[in-house]
Structure formats: structure tokens, C-alpha cells
Amino acid sequence: MIEQLLTAALETLHSGRTPVLISIVRSSGSTPRKIGACMLADHNGLLCGTIGGGLLEHRCLQLAAAAPAVPRCEQFVLDNRQAGSLGMVCGGTADVLFTPLTDPLPLTQLLQLHHSGTDACLALPLHGGAPFCRQDSVLPDRPVLAFLCGQECLLLPLRQSERVYLFGGGHVSCALAELLHRLDFRCLVVDDRTAFCSPDRFPHAEHTVTTSYEQLDQVLTGPLAPTDSDALCIMTRGHEGDTHAIRFALRTPASYIGLMGSRRKRDTLFARLKEEGFPQASSRIITPIGLAIGAETPEEIAVSIAAQLIAWRASEIPSKDIFSAFEKK
């Protein structure tokens, strides 16, 4: 989302308008969004992003439209009991930072670093100073408040997002790739058929790789090799392709491995893999892939998988522990 906000901000600046970055910097109690939630606006209203919608977002858009060039930080009370509150029933409070973006340089620097594969962050001073790009050897994983250059800042990290490998370019993969793009996942698609694995079919994929599933070890190497921060979704067109992809997946450090298939074949599959020298298969493979929501169509199945991937991304708990509560007994 931060990348989309920065791109939209630069486009707005180039058109001669002043965009305002509106960010949650503190929250307590029940609030729609927490620290780091952002949206971009100008005098005409919302450009992209959200801080939770509702009355809070509406009021912030009004303030930004009325004075887009004025930096400030304001606290909002989200209840219907106190004088001056927004009349919401959440019961919490939210501190919101309004940062006019008048200089394209730090935004451009941050995007250039990101596109080169370098993690960096946008620092937003709470007293209203100009935002600046920060590149350190250690960056926060999530938005945080920190003191930099003698001032308290909200740090919005722009890191390489989680990468999801889709083995198989069928209907579910098409629907899932579109969802992953909207959810800020990076996506790599692998299939042994050119017609099912092309940039035209997957316009948002970071890479489309056409190869035999038997050659995955030789093709997915170097920068394309899965790491422990990657997720592998196996949904090829047949059992043979699945089997080769599973063997490859189990030889990687990937922290999520999901396999499309029925529970009926699960025990047989795990027993076979154990005999082949993969004793940890049952603890590493999620099958059937996705949350049990009664999904049937490719689009519904894609939603169930995307939801599971959101849970995986949001937690440091091993994937099997995360999803066990969702399995049908």
C-alpha cells in the first residue's frame, strides 16, 4: 500500500496539486485501524488508501481539503458520550498526522530504493516537519514511532513484500493472483504450459516461469529460489505435477506450503513422502489449501487461500499451528 500511496502522491504533485498523507500515529481502545494506517488526499478528497472509513475518515478528509498545506497532528475521540467527539461507538482514541507532501525528492528516493530491492522507510516528523527517506541496516517490520534527528517520527517501512509462488496457472491461480496483487503480496507463477504462464495471463506477476515441474531445482535458483519468508501454493493440473512440486517445496525453507487436494488422499500422500525421505511433510504441508469456508468456484477458493495467506503473513507462529483451528474435524 505504501508503494501505491507514494506513486499516487508523485502523480498528484506532477499535476500541480498538493497531496496530504494522513496517517494513524497512535491509537487506544477500539479503533478502526492501528498505527501506520494511511490514506492520501488532496483538496478534492480521497486519492487512495484508508484509515478505516466511517466518520473518522470523513472528518480527516474534510480537514485535509480545507487546509492541504498545513501540517498537524490531531487527536480524535471515537465515542458518542464526550463533547467534541465524533459520535462513533468504538470508544477509543486515535492520533492522526496530516503531512503535506510538497517535495517529490524523498518519495522518488524511496521508490527507487524499493525497486532496486533495497528496504527503506519514509520518516514523518510528528511536529509537522518535512518527511524524509531513511535507509538503515535494520528497519522495522511494521510502522513504529521512533526518535530520529532529535524528533519523534512515524516510520513507514517500504520492504519487499511477501512472495507467493503459484505452481499451476489454472483458473484458481488466475483469481488468486489478482487478489494477491490487491493485498500487497508479490507473486511468481510457474507452469509447464506457455499459454497458462504468460504476462498477459498474469499481468501483476513479478515473474512467470515456464518449465517442467521435474526441473524446478534447476530453474528456481538464485533470486528465484524460495526463502523462509516465501509461501508456496501448489495447484498444478494433475497429480504428477503436484508430486514434483511438493518434493521441490519440501527441499526449500519456505514457511508456508499449501497443496490443493482432498483430505482423502492426504494420509496416503504423507506416508509416501515419509518413505521418500521427507518425514516432516505432514507438519509442513497445508492440505487442503485454504480456509474451510465452503468454497467451490475458482474465485471462492482463491478467497479462502488468500485469507489463509493473510493469517500466515500476520503471524510468526508456524503455519500448521495457525491453521489447525480452521480445519474441519
* Cβ contacts of 117 within 8 Å, gap of 6 or more: 160
Q: In terms of DSSP bridges, do strands 186-191 and 132-134 run parallel, antiparallel, or are they unpaired?
A: unpaired
C-alpha–C-alpha distance, residues 270 and 275, integer Å:
9
pLDDT score, position 53: 82
- Whether the Cβ atoms of residue 122 and residue 108 lie closer than 8 Å to each other: no
C-alpha–C-alpha distance, residues 217 and 227, integer Å:
13
Domain borders along the chain are 2-158, 163-326
Percent of the chain whose pLDDT exceeds 70: 91
- Which phi and psi (to 5°) does residue 305 adopt? -70, -45
- Which phi and psi (to 5°) does residue 115 adopt? -70, -20
Buried b (16+ CB within 10 A) or exposed e, 196-225: bbbeebbeebebbbbeebeebeeebeeeee
Domain 163-326: CATH superfamily, name plus number: NAD(P)-binding Rossmann-like Domain (3.40.50.720)
The cell numbers describing 219, all together, are 530453474
Q: In what order do the strands lie in the sheet with 186-191?
A: 207-210, 186-191, 163-167, 230-234, 256-259, 285-286
- Which phi and psi (to 5°) does residue 276 adopt? -85, 0
136-147 confidence digits (pLDDT tens): 767 787 899 999
The cell numbers describing 279, all together, are 518425514
Determine the 3-state secondary structure of 75 from DSSP: strand
C-alpha–C-alpha distance, residues 325 and 327, integer Å:
6
Q: Does pLDDT of 232 surpass 90?
A: yes
DSSP string, 87-140: --SS-EEEEEEEEE---HHHHHHHHHHHHTT--EEEEEETTSPPPEEE--SS--
pLDDT score, position 327: 46
- Whether the Cβ atoms of residue 124 and residue 23 lie closer than 8 Å to each other: yes
Residue 20's pLDDT band (cuts 50, 70, 90): very high
Determine the 3-state secondary structure of 243 from DSSP: helix
pLDDT score, position 31: 76
C-alpha–C-alpha distance, residues 179 and 191, integer Å:
19
Percent of the chain whose pLDDT exceeds 90: 55
42-90 confidence digits (pLDDT tens): 988 999 999 888 888 999 999 999 888 889 999 888 765 554 445 555 5
94-128 confidence digits (pLDDT tens): 899 999 999 999 999 998 988 887 888 999 999 87
Q: Does pLDDT of 318 surpass 60?
A: no
The cell numbers describing 121, all together, are 522507510
258-311 confidence digits (pLDDT tens): 999 877 777 778 888 888 888 888 889 999 999 999 999 999 999 999 999 999
Q: Does pLDDT of 317 surpass 70?
A: no
pLDDT score, position 131: 93
- Whether the Cβ atoms of residue 257 and residue 309 lie closer than 8 Å to each other: no
Nearest to 149 by CA among 169, 124, 167, 178: 124
Alpha helices in the chain (DSSP H): 2-14, 54-66, 104-115, 171-182, 216-219, 239-250, 266-275, 281-284, 298-314, 319-323
